[in-house]
Amino acid sequence: MIKKNSINNEKIVDLLSIVKSFDHVKAVNNVSLGINEGEFFSLLGPSGCGKTTLLRIIAGFEKPENGDVFINGTNVNSVAPNNRPTNMVFQNYAIFPHLNVSENVGYGLRNTNLSKDQILKKIDGALQLVGLKGYNKRASSALSGGQRQRVALARALILKPRVLLLDEPLSALDKNLREQMQFELRQLQKSVGITFILVTHDQTEALTMSDRVGVMFNGKVDQVATPEQIYNKPETKKVAAFIGSMNFFETKCLEKSSKTVTVFHKDLGNVKLLKNNIFGVENTKLTIGIRPENLKIISGNLKIQSKFFTAKIVEKSFMGDTMLYSIKLNQSENNNTYNISVSDIKNSPNPNIGDKISVTFEEDDVVAYYEE
């Protein structure tokens, strides 16, 4: 077992070499992860990647078969969930239907030494914190989805945990309410100042609310970074494909210098890549990635940029605030299609299906991955 004094004191949660298996399948595979005090941290990944298992290990509902869990510098491997400085908001909120709002929120205070007046005062404070002042006597059955979520948050926060664990708490809400609650959750976290750890498969949710994001696949954490870094400089091809949309082009290396690598693609031509934007173990083949919004359709009166290629529009979709074009390249032998996303619809060219277009991009916006 690792000694307490080897832990960085700035980390409120420190996971060291965590392994957890179910039926001989590793749900969490040797994960080491530090989460700082006071930050909003999200575990993001597809279903079955191990993110909820990792959250349950922090909470104490699952025991790791290997590794150590430290919370606030103390090893809690053998500490029961109710004795850890954590609390959890579950996906289904776990609101007691036979109790009113006040009784639900104050449920965890029943066995404390607090007087009735002290408990009621704490309940009032928790409800005010989540925007439910005056809802004390409201029946649980009379609450909307958003109100139920707020009750679950108030019940979790009333015990003043050092870490609040959130297991996809917004997944059951409709789009508009979910977006509203994303903002409210982030504001709540800032106001209370405690660490929030969110599990979600919704990339927009994670990028919108988080200080940092850990992206998981197959029981492992591929990248931990700020939302901007995760989106603009994904360090693996899997992260690049999972976060947003990415156009991938297979290329061959032509020339290397101290700061750049030049690659060739039969449609894009020579592309000079910054070495800071290249990831993986170096070899002769590179897959480059360009976000749809970083591809620009060149209008007739616009001066041709230094980097451009020609393509044909095969599909066109109006998305409300954006126009999405699917294109095929002129010289590629495969049937791959690539996407262009245009946000400034009114001031941009408006080609139709079947039209041939010229497309430009900035080489600084390109990321690349050496093929494994």
Tens digit of each residue's pLDDT (9 = 90 or more) over 89-113: 887 767 888 999 999 999 888 878 8
195 and 296 inside one domain: no
- Where among 191, 217, 237 does a domain terminate? 237
Asked which of 76-80, 174-178, 270-274 is least confident by mean pLDDT, the reply is 174-178
> pLDDT confidence of 304, banded at 50, 70, 90?
low
Q: What is the CATH number of the domain that holds 344?
A: 2.40.50.140
290 and 233 inside one domain: no
122 and 249 inside one domain: no
- pLDDT exceeding 70 applies to what percent of the chain? 94
pLDDT for position 303: 55
138 and 204 inside one domain: yes
- Where among 208, 237, 266 does a domain terminate? 237
Note if the pTM is more than 0.85: yes
Structure confidence by residue, pLDDT tens digits, 196-242: 999 999 999 999 999 999 999 999 999 999 999 999 999 999 999 99
Q: Is 328 helix (H, G, I), strand (E, B) or coil?
A: strand
153 and 252 inside one domain: no
Q: What is the mean pLDDT of residues 246-261?
A: 92
Pairwise CA distance, residues 241 & 246, whole Å: 6
